[in-house]
Amino acid sequence: MNFIDLHGHHGAYVGFPMPRSSTPEMIREMDRHQIATLVLSPHRALIEPGSNGATAEILREASGRFLAYWVVHPHGEGRFEREIAAFEAARALGFVGFKFHSSLHQYPLDGPRFEPWWTYADAHRLLVLAHTWGGDTRCGLENCRRVAEKWPNVRFVLGHSGYHEHEAFARLAGAHEHLYLDTCAVGCLDGAIEAMVRIAGSEKVVFGTDLPWFDPGYLMGAVKYSGIREEDRMNILRENAEKILAPLR
């Protein structure tokens, strides 16, 4: 089975032990759970502005098993013009879109500094993963709604599906053609996967694990034993992500 995980990270994290976070260790975890491809944003790129270039080395090391998000940092003037040229130059190495973390970077997902990035992603139909969380005023439901309405061509994955507000996020995903929920962390809430499938449809849910934060086995089990149909399981574990990635690889 060639499953696809659209939500991963890589490497050490400040102040938090992160076992099995090197490239060979992560690939071993993926093999155990039949995950063929992982799309990731390394911790270094999330924490240190201007370090997306170092992700290229990780992509090379993984020989095709990883694809990557270019992490967009909100702080720094004129960054878009400089960075988009670097993104375009690196794209063929395996960058398929952008990652936003509005909670970590303390800047709203729909804020003006991100606008050129969303506009670019919309024009190029890129994949974007954003950390989302119910009740957070920077990456909550209303921020996501404004982005989905303004840039409808972005293949926009709602990381964690708003967690405890996953039913409201599922209604939003169901209303926008290219808006997706992911299973990352939220899948471990009893009944969340069934609710997302019931409300948005299994075509709107993608598999995400947060590897190496968690063993992918827990989320794989949550999907497999959620009580949804086999066809829905395969949409989540592979089919939807395959369709999103096919034009971007």
Q: How far apart are CA 143 and CA 106, in angstroms?
A: 13
Please work out the total of residues on this chain that contact Zn ion, with binding judged by CB under 5 A.
1
Q: Do the beta carbons of residue 128 and residue 100 sit within 8 Å?
A: yes
Q: Whole-number minimum distance, CB 227 to Zn ion, in Å?
A: 26
Identity of the residue, 41 or 202, whose beta carbon is nearer to Zn ion in the bound complex: 41
Q: Whole-number minimum distance, CB 37 to Zn ion, in Å?
A: 16
Identity of the residue, 29 or 210, whose beta carbon is nearer to Zn ion in the bound complex: 210
What distances in angstroms separate CA 82 from CA 126, 195, 210, one per listed residue? Answer: 19, 42, 29
Q: Whole-number minimum distance, CB 160 to Zn ion, in Å?
A: 8
Closest CA to 112 of 84, 86, 146: 146
Identity of the residue, 209 or 235, whose beta carbon is nearer to Zn ion in the bound complex: 209
Q: 224-232 — which CB contacts under 8 Å span 24+ positions?
A: 226/187, 226/193, 226/194, 226/197, 227/194, 228/193, 228/194, 228/197, 228/202, 229/202, 231/202, 232/197, 232/202
Q: Whole-number minimum distance, CB 9 to Zn ion, in Å?
A: 6
Identity of the residue, 148 or 211, whose beta carbon is nearer to Zn ion in the bound complex: 211
Q: Whole-number minimum distance, CB 94 to Zn ion, in Å?
A: 18
Q: Whole-number minimum distance, CB 133 to Zn ion, in Å?
A: 11
Check residue 5 for interaction with Zn ion (CB under 5 A).
Answer: no
The site map against Zn ion for 46-75 (x = CB under 5 A) is ------------------------------
> Which part of the chain contacts Zn ion (CB under 5 A), choosing from 32-40, 45-53, 133-141, 206-214?
206-214
Write out the two tokens for 22.
């090197």
Cis ω before 17 (30° cut-off from 0)? no
Q: How far apart are CA 113 and CA 194, in angstroms?
A: 36
In one-letter notation, the amino acid at residue 155 is R
- Cα angle value 155/230/195 (rounded, 5°): 60
The site map against Zn ion for 134-173 (x = CB under 5 A) is ----------------------------------------
> Which part of the chain contacts Zn ion (CB under 5 A), choosing from 15-23, 70-78, 190-198, 205-213?
205-213
What distances in angstroms separate CA 75 from CA 42, 87, 156, one per listed residue? Answer: 19, 17, 22
Check residue 182 for interaction with Zn ion (CB under 5 A).
Answer: no
Identity of the residue, 136 or 210, whose beta carbon is nearer to Zn ion in the bound complex: 210
Check residue 210 for interaction with Zn ion (CB under 5 A).
Answer: yes
How many Cα atoms are found within 13 Å in the side-chain-facing hemisphere of 215?
4
Give the residues lining the site for Zn ion (CB under 5 A): 210
